[in-house]
Structure 1
Amino acid sequence: MFIGLATAVAASVCYGTGSVLQAVGARRSAREEAARAGGASAVTQHGGPSLASTAKAAVTWEFILGTVLDFVGFMLGALAARLLPLFLSQTIISANLVITALLSVRLLGLRLKGMEWASIGVLCGALVMLAVAAGPEGEHHAARAVHWWLLAVTVLLIAGGGLLVRRLGRGAAVVAGLLSGLGFGALGVGVRVLDGVEPFDLVRLLADPALYAILVGGLGGMYLHTVALQVGSVNAATAALVVGETVVPGVVGVLWLGDSARAGLGWLAAFGFVLAVASAVGVAWFGEDEGALHGVEPQQETAPA
């Protein structure tokens, strides 16, 4: 249990630091793109960021460094998902929101409001409850039909979400964050049920649909998170991501994979889980307008051609 907890915390630090570095790169790219366009934002006619703008954000040095940290966080998170119940591992990893918020003060010049600090404090308390209440992890195997359903749902989420957020403009930040979180949540479930890991069998691994759900969820989630960072509040986008990557894997783990709490502490695990999700929503709600409040220029829609 201790190794799993330490691994999940390390993954959280990597993800939180990576998110802020990616936000720095994404916003610098957006400013440079707007300057080259004579002051107009690099957005599509529907108000969302253009694919070219998102691609340019992804090649800034800050974004690349953040992506490297995300990769390290992914490897650590995958290990944590095998060692801990999903409702615990995913929630601890999602606490990267705290790291994101603290570093955004330093690197993005943001000033957190009192309710944001309060929500972050509640989230930390909820994580302690979950750590105390969590029992051993459940099964690592699921029926092959579950693997195929996971792949189909992940592809639908990422493809449909990509089309949706490009039409929503600045309002896409929370939606894109939530969809990216669902993609990362699918990744967590896929890692948990992946065949060919213990014992290692390359043929079984490559034949497992869950492997491709992991790839689609991870890459698609990263793209949607980049969009969210381009068009809105870094803390709001990350908080929405927290909800997506925590709730669904947690429910799947309990209902289908046998994750459970310690005897007599089921109520504490349930309360801590709900409290963690609610506090993340609180950060998203109270931090939704921070881009306008703290000197980050919002993306403006351009008139249709």
Structure 2
Amino acid sequence: MLIGLLTAIAASICYGTGSVLQAVGSRKSARREAAAAGRLTDRGGPSLSSTAKAATTWEFVVGTILDFIGFGLGALAARLLPLFLSQTVISANLVVTAVLSVRLLGIRLTRAEWTSIGVVCSALVLLASAAGPEGSGHTPVATHWWLLAISVLLMVGGTAVVRLLGGRAAILAGLLSGLGFGALGVGVRILNGIDPFDLGALLTDPALCAILVAGIGGMYLHTVALQIGSVNGATAALVVGETVLPGMIGVWWLGDASRPGFAWLAVLGFALAVAGAVAVAWFGAPEGHGAEDTGVPDEHGSVPEDRRDPVRVP
């Protein structure tokens, strides 16, 4: 349990740091394209060109490397802990994202945002205290095919809807990316050929394809969310997507459980974690801010005063 918790915390730090660095690279690319073209798209969303160019900035590259490290650590945590605990601890990258965004994106957090972050941290303590042993993760092959089908539907269909909505789709893109990462966590948990190791079973398991589809699609949608919305709001929506459904699936189908007599504490901690993430999304998305004026550092690393998020006191 301790090794699993430390692994999940390390994954959270990698993901949180990577998100902010990706936000810096994504928004810098979006701002440059907007300056050149006068707009992002007819509907205010990111173009495929700006999304591709974002991946070439050094900030985005470093952030992506951290994401891959976080993925490996998160996959290990998903095998060592109940999904409702591992996914929620990993989602605490929201705290890392929020704190680093103060320095790197020039964002000023309000009292409501700090309070919401405190709620998330407290909820994680409750969850860790209540968590019991993880389930076996053994499921019929049909379940693996269902996971692949749902992953394709979410990532392909979700991408189409996000493109249609354009600049209004930041929270939706963040939520869909979270669902993708949640499907990835479930896939890692049920993946055949891991213990004992069997390369043939691993490569022919539909869950492996689901992991690839959900991971790649989730990363793309997260990049889009960072380009067109609040970094804290997008990450908070991601948190909801990657914790709620995987946690429920872990309990209902994979045999995850809390310690005897502590089910109420696990439910309370889970509910508070989700509520805190939603609160950060609610308070962290300033009205009227697009990709061009959301605190993007210029080439010298500074954030002009007229693009800093204003201090909003609830």
Query: What is the TM-score normalised by the length of structure 1?
Result: 0.94
In 2, the alpha carbon distance for the partners of 1:290 and 1:272 equals 30
Distance change in 2, residues 1:137/1:219 (3 Å): same
In 2, the alpha carbon distance for the partners of 1:183 and 1:290 equals 27
Matched-pair contact (CA < 8 Å) for 1:30–1:41: no
Residue type of the partner of 2:40? A
Matched-pair contact (CA < 8 Å) for 1:42–1:50: yes
Matched-pair contact (CA < 8 Å) for 1:29–1:53: yes
Distance change in 2, residues 1:291/1:17 (3 Å): farther
Q: Which moved more, 1:92-101 or 1:158-167?
A: 158-167
Cα RMSD (Å): 1.5
Correspondence for 1:7: 7
In 1, the alpha carbon distance for the partners of 2:7 and 2:257 equals 20
Q: 2:183 aligns with which of 176, 182, 186?
A: 186
In 1, the alpha carbon distance for the partners of 2:110 and 2:287 equals 9
Q: 1:140 aligns with which of 137, 158, 177?
A: 137
In 1, the alpha carbon distance for the partners of 2:240 and 2:52 equals 26
Residue type of the partner of 1:9? I
Measured against aligned partners, the alpha-carbon deviations of 1:137-171 in whole angstroms (never above 9, x if no partner) come to 00121111110000000000000110111122222
In 1, the alpha carbon distance for the partners of 2:183 and 2:140 equals 16
Shift of 1:58: 1.1
Shift of 1:47: 3.1
Percent identical among aligned pairs is 71
Correspondence for 1:21: 21
Correspondence for 1:218: 215
Matched-pair contact (CA < 8 Å) for 1:87–1:249: yes
Shift of 1:41: 2.1
Residue type of the partner of 2:219? M
In 2, the alpha carbon distance for the partners of 1:132 and 1:91 equals 13
In 2, the alpha carbon distance for the partners of 1:36 and 1:249 equals 42
Is 1:33 aligned with 2:30?
Answer: no
Matched-pair contact (CA < 8 Å) for 1:17–1:69: yes
Paired residues, number: 295
In 2, the alpha carbon distance for the partners of 1:130 and 1:284 equals 21
Shift of 1:59: 1.2
Correspondence for 1:92: 89
Residue type of the partner of 1:296? T
Q: 2:170 aligns with which of 173, 181, 190?
A: 173
In 2, the alpha carbon distance for the partners of 1:129 and 1:262 equals 12
Measured against aligned partners, the alpha-carbon deviations of 1:212-238 in whole angstroms (never above 9, x if no partner) come to 000000000000000000001000000
Measured against aligned partners, the alpha-carbon deviations of 1:267-295 in whole angstroms (never above 9, x if no partner) come to 00001001100110000011121773994
Residue type of the partner of 1:123? V
In 2, the alpha carbon distance for the partners of 1:171 and 1:130 equals 34
In 1, the alpha carbon distance for the partners of 2:17 and 2:295 equals 22
Residue type of the partner of 1:190? G
Shift of 1:128: 0.1
Correspondence for 2:308: none
In 1, the alpha carbon distance for the partners of 2:114 and 2:212 equals 34
Q: 2:157 aligns with which of 153, 157, 160?
A: 160
Correspondence for 1:249: 246
In 2, the alpha carbon distance for the partners of 1:276 and 1:151 equals 28
Residue type of the partner of 1:272? G
Question: Which secondary structure state, in structure 2, belongs to the residue aligned with residue 156 of structure 1?
Answer: helix
Is 1:81 aligned with 2:78?
Answer: yes
Distance change in 2, residues 1:297/1:3 (3 Å): closer
Q: 2:98 aligns with which of 85, 96, 101?
A: 101
Residue type of the partner of 1:56? K
Matched-pair contact (CA < 8 Å) for 1:232–1:291: no
Matched-pair contact (CA < 8 Å) for 1:129–1:268: yes
Moved over 4 A (4+): none
Question: Which secondary structure state, in structure 1, belongs to the residue aligned with residue 259 of structure 2?
Answer: coil
Query: What is the TM-score normalised by the length of structure 2?
Result: 0.92
Shift of 1:297: 7.4
Q: 1:60 aligns with which of 57, 62, 65?
A: 57
Measured against aligned partners, the alpha-carbon deviations of 1:228-252 in whole angstroms (never above 9, x if no partner) come to 0000100000000000000011000
Correspondence for 1:70: 67
In 2, the alpha carbon distance for the partners of 1:128 and 1:291 equals 36
Correspondence for 2:302: none
Distance change in 2, residues 1:25/1:291 (3 Å): farther
Question: Which secondary structure state, in structure 1, belongs to the residue aligned with residue 169 of structure 2?
Answer: helix
Question: Which secondary structure state, in structure 2, belongs to the residue aligned with residue 292 of structure 1?
Answer: coil
In 2, the alpha carbon distance for the partners of 1:196 and 1:26 equals 37
Matched-pair contact (CA < 8 Å) for 1:291–1:297: no
Q: 1:296 aligns with which of 275, 283, 294?
A: 294
